[in-house]
Every structure is written in structure tokens, then in C-alpha cells.
């Protein structure tokens, strides 16, 4: 039986080299792409007490953003952390003037549909999204491109 979250996890931007390295290490464990993470990629850690339970990242392009690097550590899955990550990063994006979020996934389509994202034709993605490393090759061409207005 999976237990529910009873605390208030906090989404914290990974600013230090150590924190960014921790995010990258967690992403590598989840077999998610990291080679295209740039200095200006916003990376976040979800902390529940003193334990890191997840990661999320944003690449921002004017009024849209690529949601990336969403992961929840293995022993914390199924407890609602993914939803918390998504809600908190969308709130941050909205407050930052972002009105549309995109993502590319080959494993989490169902999860993101439950969060309000819709699959779109790859050709309709904005040029900024099409030029990202994830779009151009890090994610397979069979990966689903999804969009959500926030």
C-alpha cells in the first residue's frame, strides 16, 4: 500500500554547483537526457524535509517554456510528488509570464494528460521548442510532444 504525502514538500531552485550536480545525478539514474542542460536551464529539487524526492526543469523562451527533467525518486513514486512538482513549476512559470508549456515524453504521456497537457503534432510546436536538443534528437522522434496553456 502506497502512503500519501503528509508533509508540505518544497520546490527549491538548484543554484549551487552541488545542487545542480544532484539534479543531474538523479536525472541520470532515471535515464533522462542531461547533455543539453545549459547554464540558463532552470533546475529544481523537490524536498520533503531533508530528503530530495524529485526534480523538474524549465527552458524558457519568451512566453513559452519547455518542461523538462521531471522525475520522482523510485521509493517516492505513486505518492503524489509528480503532481506537486507539476503544479509548483506551472505556478512559477505563470508568475514569470509564461502562458504555454510544452514537453516531450515517451514514458509519461498518461501522467501529463491527467495534468491537463494535450498531445500535439510535432510540426505545430513553436520554433524555439523545435530547436531544443530534446526535440532535435535527445528524445526519439516517436516521443510525444505535449502542450498546456497556463
Split at pLDDT 50, 70, 90, the class of 140 is: confident
CATH for 10-149 (3.30.70.260, 3.40.630.30, 3.40.47.10, 3.40.190.10)? 3.40.630.30
Residue 13: per-residue pLDDT: 93
pLDDT at 45 over 90: yes
Residue 34: per-residue pLDDT: 94
Residue 127: per-residue pLDDT: 97
Domain locations in the chain as residue ranges: 10-149
pLDDT at 84 over 90: yes
Closest by CA to 60, choosing from 77, 32, 41, 37, is: 41
Residue 3: per-residue pLDDT: 60
Amino acid at each position: 500500500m502506497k502512503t500519501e504525502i503528509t508533509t508540505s514538500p518544497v520546490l527549491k531552485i538548484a543554484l549551487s554547483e552541488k545542487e545542480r550536480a544532484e539534479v543531474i545525478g538523479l536525472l541520470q539514474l532515471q535515464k533522462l537526457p542531461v547533455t543539453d542542460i545549459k547554464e540558463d536551464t532552470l533546475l529544481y529539487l523537490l524536498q520533503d524535509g531533508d530528503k530530495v524526492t524529485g526534480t523538474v526543469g524549465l527552458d524558457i523562451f519568451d512566453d513559452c517554456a519547455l518542461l523538462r527533467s521531471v522525475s520522482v525518486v523510485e521509493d517516492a513514486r505513486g505518492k503524489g510528488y509528480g503532481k506537486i512538482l507539476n503544479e509548483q513549476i506551472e505556478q512559477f512559470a505563470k508568475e514569470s509570464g509564461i502562458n504555454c508549456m510544452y514537453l516531450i515524453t515517451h514514458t509519461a504521456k498518461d501522467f501529463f494528460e491527467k495534468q491537463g497537457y494535450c498531445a500535439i503534432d510535432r510540426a505545430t510546436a513553436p520554433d524555439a521548442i523545435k530547436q531544443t536538443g530534446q526535440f532535435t534528437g535527445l528524445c526519439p522522434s516517436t516521443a510525444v510532444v505535449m502542450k498546456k496553456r497556463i
